[in-house]
Amino acid sequence: MKKYEYKIIATRQLTGYAGKDKYINVYRFPIFKEFYDLKKTHSYDTVKIEIVDYILGSFEVDLKQQHKQPEFWLKNLGKYIIRTNMQPGDIVTLTILIDGSNNYSFFIKSDRYFKYLLERHNTEINKYRLLIENPNKNTSESITNNTENFLYKFDVYKSDSELKFSNEVKDFTVWEYNGNGGKYLGIPFHIDKVEEFNELEEIL
């Protein structure tokens, strides 16, 4: 039996903070590309997708034939995301087991590795947003009156300005950090140090 494991950051799109479609684009992982190539020729035997610790039933792999590059997506994750209270910035683990030659099993779970995860603006140096901020609802249950004080301990300061991030319609509160300026700032649950990183592989 072969086992493959990939970790990704739960995006705002995946958790329903931006848009309505909760899915994961997994084509960038080699084993998923291999599976896709098998699916095109119908040469696999079985496909099974399960939720770790809570099985909601079989999930279809939805092919997107209209894209220039072949892609497929793990969809129908809404119930799992709601049940686990998955938030942007959580670490999602995808596990793939291949039993025999063409029997595939997919497993998904999520963990809250950081208390807060901030994402850097793509053009403004050392200006970040809290991934859990939800300007579409004007609030987030995880942002409290103590958030600013907690982040202050890590030299992350709330500014008076707002910026648009990515292709989001509404502006986000800007948080400033006087560090090296990684793409992400991971704030731990307990006092330690800020994790500055560009890719998950740097810290996990």
Q: Domain 2-111 has what CATH class?
A: mainly beta
115 and 144 Cβ atoms separated by less than 8 Å: no
Kindly give, in sequence order, each residue whose CB lies less than 8 Å from that of residue 203, ignoring residues fewer than 6 positions away: 186, 195, 197
pLDDT at 163: 92
CA nearest neighbour of 181 among 135, 122, 130, 94: 122
83 and 112 Cβ atoms separated by less than 8 Å: no
pLDDT at 204: 78
Kindly give, in sequence order, each residue whose CB lies less than 8 Å from that of residue 159, ignoring residues fewer than 6 positions away: 127, 173, 174, 175, 176
Residue boundaries of the structural domains of the chain: 2-111, 116-202
What's the DSSP call for residue 201? G
pLDDT at 63: 46
Cα dihedral sign for 168, 169, 173, 175? positive
pLDDT at 122: 86
pLDDT tens digits, the chain, 204 residues: what are they?
Answer: 888 888 989 988 888 888 777 777 776 777 777 776 766 665 555 555 544 433 444 444 544 444 444 455 565 566 677 777 788 999 988 888 887 766 777 777 888 999 999 999 988 888 999 999 987 665 555 677 789 999 999 999 999 999 988 878 788 999 999 877 789 999 999 878 899 999 988 887
